[in-house]
Amino acid sequence: MIADSTSQLADPAPDHPMEVSPEPPPQINSPRSKRWIAYGFISFLGVVIVGFLLVAIGRIYLTQPLDRWSLRIAEILRLPAFKINGTSVRYRDYAKDLLAIRRLRQFEQGNNSGPRAELSDERLSDLVLLSLANNVLVAEAADQFKIKVEPADREAIINRLISTYGSRETAAAELEKRYGWTLPEWEERVMPYLILQQKLDERLASDPAPREALRARAAAVLKQIQAGKDFAELAREFGEDGTAAAGGDLGWFSRGEMVPQFEAAAFALKKGEVTAAPVESPFGYHLIKLEDRETKRGRSADGKPTTTERISARHILFRFASLDRYLDQALKAARLQFYLRLHNPFPG
């Protein structure tokens, strides 16, 4: 019995059925540990990337940088500069066009000529934003009128460009010098909109329905004048040129200073008389009132006596439809969302 007892004491005590043996600590080189380390690194890297992108996006919208890396980020993320009628205009396109027009300004300053030579950075930015918005509106109008860019249209533009500069190589060099663009870049970014604008302008000018509606509008205003309403007040209300604010006042002018159709109708009037019907000119339909008439006497360069007939008149212009007018009205009616922290040139 003593031996048995000794044997029992020497043997280890049996495990309690409820006891759990402790697991050994995880090994750093174990597959499980490696996975956790990888997950942690990926998470950390993701946080760093997200933070970097947020800082970059904030910088783009707050300061409008034009460096290569910012433009690359804006391109990858497809960041919008603004939206018009639900269409996004990307920041990258704004920045590239702004760099191009700044280069053109520098070129014109170096050659002491050109309308952009003295423009400020803000004005150049305004021009780029308005141009990009017009591109969207032109594309919408082209879709509405079922107008497309055909291969023959592209060929005609390229031939015109080559004719202007003498050769394809010279044309490409001029584009690079003026805008910093290659010829393929110009063909992609500029050419389609030039073609669509030309076709739209032709379509608007040749459509008879708007012309007839415009003539009817002019005739309705003429009836108000014939009923006794003040010509100058109606000119302020309905005139569609720069004289409207002055009641249609054209001041004094002689023969040869106005387009022939307008001149013939105006000089045929008596003082105080208004044209009996709207007068058509290349600009639109005019209602004309003769304010006064005079004959000025003088001498020619060789000393011979001369007489010059002059008249003072007012008019109300109902302007024909044109692409500029169409786009101006479309821009005023457009839905716009502007994201950049700089001068907003859009109406409203």
CA–CA distance, 198 with 72 (Å, rounded to integer): 33
Q: What is the pLDDT of residues 304-327, one digit of tens each?
A: 888 889 999 999 999 998 898 899
pLDDT of residue 53: 64
Q: What is the pLDDT of residues 247-277, one digit of tens each?
A: 999 999 999 999 999 999 999 999 999 999 9
Provide the β-strand partners of residue 294.
Answer: 310
Closest CA to 198 of 331, 309, 323: 323
Provide the β-strand partners of residue 313.
Answer: 251, 290
Going by pLDDT thresholds of 50, 70 and 90, the confidence category of residue 299 is: confident
97-131 as b/e: b if 16+ CB within 10 A:
bbbbbbbbbebbeeeeeeebeebeeeebbbbbbee
- CB proximity list for 297: less than 8 A, separation 6 or greater: 305, 306, 307, 308
Q: What number of other Cβ atoms are within 10 A of residue 32's Cβ?
A: 9
pLDDT above 70: percentage of residues in the chain: 85
* Distances from the Cα of 129 to the Cα of 55, 290, 340, angstroms: 24, 43, 11
Q: What is the pLDDT of residues 3-57, one digit of tens each?
A: 444 444 344 444 444 454 555 555 556 666 666 656 665 765 665 556 656 777 8
295: three-class secondary structure by DSSP? strand
Please give the order of strands across the beta sheet that includes 279-281: 249-254, 305-319, 284-299, 279-281
Q: What is the pLDDT of residues 137-192, one digit of tens each?
A: 999 999 999 999 999 999 999 999 999 999 999 999 999 999 999 999 999 999 99
DSSP string, 90-113: EHHHHHHHHHHHHHHHHHHHHTT-
CB 141 within 8 A of CB 135: no
Q: What number of other Cβ atoms are within 10 A of residue 149's Cβ?
A: 16
CA–CA distance, 50 with 56 (Å, rounded to integer): 10
Say yes or no to pLDDT of 347 above 80.
yes
Closest CA to 230 of 320, 316, 317: 316
**Helix extents (H) in 303-344:** 323-333
